[in-house]
A and B are shown apart, each in its own frame.
Chain A
Amino acid sequence: MSAIQQGVKTIQRALPAVNAQGAWLAGLLLAAGWFALPSIGIAAEGTAAGPTEYRDIPYIGARNIIWVVAQLHLLLAGFVLGVPIFAWLCEVIAWRGGEKRYDKLAKEFTKLLTSAYATTALFGGILLFLLVAFYPKLMNYLTDVFFPSFLLYCLLFLLETATLYLYWYGWDAMQEGRKKSLHVFLGFLLNFFALFIMIVPNAWATFQASPVVIAEGTAFERAWAATWNPTWWPINIHRLIANVVLGGYICGAYAGVRYLSVKSAEDREHYDWMGYVGNFIGVFGLLALPFAGYWLMREIYQYNQQMGITLMGGFLSWLFILQAMLIGVLFLGSNYYFWLGITYRIPGSEAKYRKAMLMMLVSLLLCLAVWMTPHSLVASIEEAQKMGGAHHPLLGVLGVMSAKMTVSNLMILITFMSFVMYWRAGKQDTAGWAAFGKAVMGAILVLASIAVIVLGVWGYFVPAIVRINYFSTSQVLIVIFVILTITPLTALLLKSARTTTEMVWGSMPPRAGYSLVLNAVMVILLMTLMGYARSSSRVHWHVYGVMRDTSPYAYSPALGSASLIMAFCTFFFCILVAFIFWVATMGDKYKTAAGAGKGDLPHGIPAMAGGAPDKGPQG
Chain B
Amino acid sequence: MGALGKPIILMVAMYVFIKFVLPNIPGSAPLPSSLIALYLLLTGSGIVIFQTLSKESKDAFWGPMQRFLTGENLGGLQALRYGVLILFPLLVGWQTYGSTAVSDLPPIESRTIHPAPPGEYTGLSNPVAKTPDNIMQGKGFYAAYCSPCHGGNFDGKGPAARGFVPAPANFADPTTIAMLQESYLFWRIKKGGVGLPIEGTPWKSAMPRWEVELPDEWIWKIIMGEYDGAHQSPRTWE
Contacts and interface: CB of A to CB of B under 8 A. Distances in A.
Interface string A221-244: 000000000000000000000000
Contacts of A365: 42-43, 45-46
Interface string A456-500: 000011111100000000000000000000000000000000000
Interface residues of A, number: 66
Contacts of A302: 237
A393 B27 contact: yes
Contact of B53 (A310, A357, A384): A357
A240 B196 CA distance: 38
Counting chain B residues whose Cβ lies within 8 A of the other chain, the interface size class is 35 or more
A91 to B, nearest CB: 34
A315 B29 contact: no
A199 to B, nearest CB: 26
B34 interface: yes
A383 B52 CA distance: 36
B233 A378 contact: no
Contact of A381 (B106, B117, B174, B233): B106
Contact of A392 (B31, B52, B165): B31
Interface string B197-238: 001000000000000000000000000000000000111111
Given A357-B53, A378-B108, A383-B33, A309 B115 contact: yes
B49 A393 contact: no
Contacts of B22: 394
Contacts of A511: 52
Contact of A399 (B25, B106, B175): B175
Interface string B27-55: 11111111100110011011001101111
Contacts of B122: 304-306
A379 B112 CA distance: 13
A53 interface: no
B105 interface: yes
Contact of A383 (B30, B110, B178, B181): B30
Interface string B72-100: 00000000000000000000000000000
Contacts of A336: 49, 53
A377 interface: yes
B31 A395 contact: yes
Nearest to B118: A306
A388 B33 contact: no
A464 B179 contact: yes
Interface string A363-401: 001001100110111111111111111111111110111
User: Chain A CB within 10 Å — which of B112, B183, B234, B238 has the most?
Assistant: B112
Interface of A: 302, 304-307, 309-310, 313-315, 317-318, 332, 336, 339-340, 343-344, 350, 354, 357-358, 361-362, 365, 368-369, 372-373, 375-397, 399-401, 460-465, 509, 511, 539, 545, 556
27 contacts: A302-B237, A305-B122, A313-B115, A314-B116, A318-B110, A344-B55, A350-B54, A354-B53, A354-B54, A361-B50, A365-B42, A369-B38, A373-B38, A375-B113, A376-B113, A377-B34, A378-B110, A379-B32, A384-B165, A386-B29, A393-B28, A394-B22, A400-B175, A463-B178, A511-B52, A545-B119, A556-B199
3 nearest A-B pairs in the assembled complex, by CB-CB distance: A313-B114, A463-B233, A379-B32
